Amino acid sequence: MPVSPTRGYWIPSNRNRVPRGRDAGRGGAVERVGVVGCGLMGAGIAEVAARSGSEVVVVEGDDAAAGRGRTRLEQSLTRAESRGKIESASEVLGRIRVVTDLEALADREVVVEAIVEDEAAKTALFQRLDEIVSDPEAILASNTSSIPIMKLGVVTSRPQQVMGIHFFNPVPVLSLVELVPSLMTAEATTERARTWVQETLGKQAIDCQDRAGFVVNALLVPFILSAIRMMESGFASAEDIDRGLVLGAAHPQGPLALADLIGLDTTKAVAESLYEEFKEPLYAAPPLLARMVDAGLLGRKTGRGFYTYD
């Protein structure tokens, strides 16, 4: 059986394909949510869905990644309980299953993809989700921050049910979600997603066109790239750049610290997507950013980026 290019998500044949046509109870709250990927973003999406009362299945690529995902969820929910954000971490955890089999998503009403920012991996995954998810009106969503939603929709037999639902890190804290329909997404799909995001998850949604960067990253990433170029040229240190924006512009954190939080690989992927679409020099990834990604210095998630972390 072939495997998707980067993360080990099995893409088997469709011999076990689940028949479609399941009645998902239209008009009620979403009860069954699926998430693919249990990294920072996937775990956060799973957490907020479970905190809203939904039963959540999270799929990871292998047992080791699933174990790390469970630990990430346990730690986050334990912190939330200690801070009085939730009554019981164990109760929320009881609504989450972390597994390694994509077939466990067959009965989901909403599935959110949150794997690596790689177009080949995502398109292979959406082809497989199209085979597996039995409800023909289920929302197949991507949390991508850079890949056009149309490219994901057209590899399925139901592009009208495919859209972007882009959360922001840390998902349990930040309230914004970007809703990104493609040219093929049905209006009813977008409105169901809006209801889920706002009424069930308690987030605030904004509407975006299916173009690189959507709204926030199309504004934010060129700003971060400018800060990287400023540091790269020796004009100012990372500390002074960030301190200047925090103290002089009332930003909660500086652009380089923010890049470390986002992940330098994700920052580079969004920059490349923006540059490919618009060919504007301000979107081009600076050489320093490319070298740091090549070296595996990706920010907080690897312990070192523009700063060093414990």
Residue 90 bears catalytic tag: no
Q: How buried is 111 (Cβ within 10 angstroms: 0-12 exposed, 13-18 middle, 19+ buried)? A: buried
Helices (H), 52-157: 63-82, 89-93, 119-132, 149-153
Distance between CA 270 and CA 284 in Å, rounded? 10
Residue 143 bears catalytic tag: no
Distance between CA 68 and CA 63 in Å, rounded? 9
For the beta carbon of residue 138, count every other beta carbon within 10 angstroms: 26
> Which one from 52, 131, 166, 273 is the annotated catalytic residue?
166
> Which one from 52, 146, 217, 273 is the annotated catalytic residue?
217
> Which one from 145, 146, 182, 273 is the annotated catalytic residue?
145
> Which one from 131, 137, 178, 273 is the annotated catalytic residue?
178
Helices (H), 105-172: 119-132, 149-153
Distance between CA 21 and CA 158 in Å, rounded? 13
> CB of 196 within 8 A of CB of 30?
yes
Tokens of 190: 């977008």
Catalogue the active-site residues.
145, 166, 178, 217
